Structures are given as structure tokens and as C-alpha cells.
Amino acid sequence: MEVPPWWASVFAVVLATVVFLRAVFGRWRRPCRTLPGPKPWPIIGNFNLLGALPHRSLDALSKRYGPLMRVQFGSFPVVVASSVDMAKFFLKTHDSVFIDRPKMAAGRYTTYNYSNIAWSPYGAYWRQARKICADELFSARRLESSECVRREEAHALLRYLRGAAGQVVPLKERLSTMSLNMIARMVLGRKAVDKEVVASGGGSVTTWREFRWMLDELFLLNGVLNIGDWIPWLSWLDLQGYVRRMKRVGKMFNQFMENVVEEHNERRRREGDAFVAKDMVDRLLQLADDPNLEVKLTRDSVKAFTQDLVAGGTESAAVIVEWAISELLKNPEVFTKATEELDGVIGRGRWVTEKDIAHLPYIDAIVKETMRLHMVVPLLSPRLSREDTSVGGYDIPAGTRVLVNAWTISRDPSLWDSPEEFRPERFVGSKIDVKGQDFELLPFGSGRRMCPGYSLGLKVIQGTLANLLHGFAWRLPDGMTKEELSMEEVFGLSTPRKFPLLVVVEPKLPDHVYNV
């Protein structure tokens, strides 16, 4: 029997409808693969599971839920990566997808409304800032030209310790002074601490004590979990008082930076056509006048970049060197091996130079082991996905916040033998480095968002530690044993010792060496 033509048309429409409906309802019925993680509470999510040291709390959760898990912080889901493979996925394989930053109160109130390198959102401004860092501020040529500055300030610290022989010294305070003067001379063109005054101008004075407090506060507040960042409808209450503190320290840093910028502009006006850039602020101000820049640098941009350089360069080096000396006091056999290497390679008639570091593999191993056990930034700065993606069959939608727990990775027993022990030997002959390509060890992060000043930081840390070990015998104050030395930490953007290290040093080189 012949089929009517109209029936063929009806059949085609029905068939198309069935296919469409099956596709739609099939998608709805497809099981949604949700990342494993703890069940959140209403409103607060999983904040109740975080202690005073969030990286340790998330480490404990990852042991239960796996190296890729989902937690809920207030109104926002957060993906936490805690393995080499997952870190590589977010920081390398899909770096371009997870390169953005969420907008947090710290970025708004302490970095000139997200104008610095760390907090600025992905885009033309950030790309330009990164290029300025690579080409202008941290180029090999600039770092080489400033080696004499780093050497002079390190020698000033060594002379101070020589004069304080036998006395109890608060080590980090002295390390911070040295680091600040190094960075200030490279960035600002002058020492920051000559006596007690760091900066003055416009009727205001910033003392060293105030500046030390400002640095500590800045690093703490840029690492805290501020309730308002995660439960936006509660932000106006400022329940923890963090925003009030951010505004205060932001205002104090702005006062300091205004004095710095005005001081540099005054020299430019005074010298006119004869002006030559002498430091990084001078160069930033020149770039701000460049009409060919893709995005114009504002006065706030110059202040934000300068604050980044001064604060970041001062804190990280001091924290790492203090932790290294702490570990050596706990492990005197390591100190003995380091001394033997230094005496054999350097001798006892001069100080260590930056060029010597390549010939001091055990000193380099001590630095790496310190960075492994005491991550300056244990939770790498949060990232934000720019588009939908998936990993291991799990969907990660655009707008998801991502944390990489570098602290967990650095203590993973599948990667490290006896991961809780301080064993520099594990790095002797090892190809693992700290420059962002080996995901077992990420003290500076990785990918395009890694710390742009890592090369400078390494030079300061390695050179300072080598000379401290070369020039002095170290011990704890009378009455304190190595077992009594606390190794507790405080969480923030950096993770310093909870209790500052107090030490006693004795010179061990010929007297003339300390008089350089």
C-alpha cells in the first residue's frame, strides 16, 4: 500500500521531536559528577572546619576526600588542589583558564583598588605589569647591576652581629632591616633605615617601628579568610574587623608611598633634561609618562608596584632565613656539614659572593629544604576560572575559585621520604628546583602568576644564609635547649614563626674579615 506523502512529513517531525526530547531529558538525567568534599552548613559552608592554620586544615580534609576536592566557603564553592598532577593542571596545563583573581577586600583596600601585580585581574593592565617586571625591574642586567647594593647591606648585618657577639639578638628584626635596606636602595634609591626614621614629608614621619608593624599587618591581612569576601551580604558588618584594619594600613602605606613618589618627582623637576633614572621608582615614573604604553600607568599604579617591591622583597627573605637558622639550631649536624662545605670552597679569609652559590650545593640544598618545610605562601594566592572546564570527569564552571595547597604537596609521603624531617641531603644531586617547573616544590608558585621577583628573592636568601653560617657560630639563649625551641607558625599571606627567634652568635673568622 502506498504511504501518503503527508505521512512521511509527519513521521519526520515526530522522529525529530523524539530525538530532541531524548537529548534534552537525557542531559537532565545524566548524573552530575560533584567533586568530593565535606557537606557544607547553611550560610557558613565549611568555615567551621578551618582552624587557625587553614593550610593544615585543608591538608587534613584532602587526606579524607582526595587531592581534588570541593569545599564551600560561605556563598562560594572552592576547588582545592593538593597533588602534583592537580597543581600542574591548574598552574600549567590550563594556566590561561585559571589565571584570573577573585576580587577580595585586601586587594581593594591595601593595593590601590587591585592596582598591584598580585591582585590585579587578568587583562591588558596585568599583562603590561608582568612585562614591566620581566623587562625593567627584575631583568638579569638590573639584578647584576645591583649586586653591590645587596653585598653592602649584607656586610652591614654581619658587622652588626659581630658587635653584638654574646648578646641575645632578635634575628628576624635584624634580617628585616637588612632586607628592607637592600630593597629600598634598589627601588627607592636610598636606605630605608638609617636611624629610626623610614620616611618623612608633608608634615608626617614614618618610624622604623611603625613600618615594621605595617609590613606585618599587610602580610597578615592579605592572607586572612575575611568573612565578607565569602558571604558578600554580610560584608557591611565587617564581623572580624579585618576591613577596618585593611583601610588603616592602606592609608598608612599610601602616606609613605606619596612621600616616596613626591621625593622622586621633585628630583626630576629639579634636574630637568639632565635627569637620569637611578632606581626602580624613577623608571616607573618614566614609564607612567610613556604615551606608547597599552594601558597608562597612573600615580596609584606606581605606588602599588613600589609597595609590592618593598613589602614582598623585605618579608619573604627574612622569613625564610629565620626558618633556616631555626632548623639548623634543631639539627646541629646539618650546621656542621654546611660549615665544612663553606670552609672547603670559600676558605676562612673572605665572605661568600653571589657567584659562589653555584659551587655550594649543600647550602642550596638547605635553602630548598627550608622552603619545602616552611612554605612562605602555603596556600598559593587564589585563582579564578575564566571559562568552563573539566578534570577527571568533574565539571568546573567559570567563576570557580581555586586554591593550590603547596604545603600539602611539599609534605606528600609519596614524593618525599620522611617528609616531616629536615633533610637537606634529599636535594643534593637532585634536579628539583624552585623556579616553578617542578610541581613537587612551589615556594614561588608557577605559571604566569608566579612571583615575578623570585630570582631576586633567591639571591638574597642564598647569599644571606651562606654568610651567616660562614661567619658565626650559633646557639640558643642560655637555659634554652633545642627541644624547647618552638616551631609554631602564624598564617597570613606569609607564614612566619609564631615566636620570633632569639639567638646568640660568636664570630669564627679572622677579625679583618668583619671590617669590610
Helical ranges in 30-170 per DSSP H: 54-65, 84-88, 105-110, 124-132, 140-145, 147-163
Give the integer Cα–Cα distance in Å for 338 and 465. Answer: 11
CA distance 380 to 375: 10
Q: How far apart are CA 90 and CA 95, in angstroms?
A: 6
Alpha carbons 154 and 185: distance in angstroms, whole number: 13
Burial 358-371 (b: 16+ CB within 10 A, else e): eebbbbbbbbbbbb
> Cβ of 240: how many Cβ atoms within 10 Å?
13
**Cα separation values, 231 from 119, 284, 331, 402, 498, Å:** 20, 37, 45, 17, 29
Distance of CA 473 to the CA centre of its chain: 30
CA dihedral 243, 244, 247, 251 (to 10 degrees): -160
Contact 104, 229 (CB under 8 A): yes
Measured CA to CA in angstroms, residue 277 lies from 117, 123, 134, 282, 306 at distances of 22, 28, 18, 5, 15
C-alpha cell at 251: 592609608
Q: Is 451 annotated as a binding residue?
A: yes
Mapped onto helix, strand or coil, the DSSP state of residue 418 is coil
Q: End-to-end CA distance of the chain, in Å?
A: 111
- The annotation places the binding site for heme at 451
- The annotation places the binding site at 451
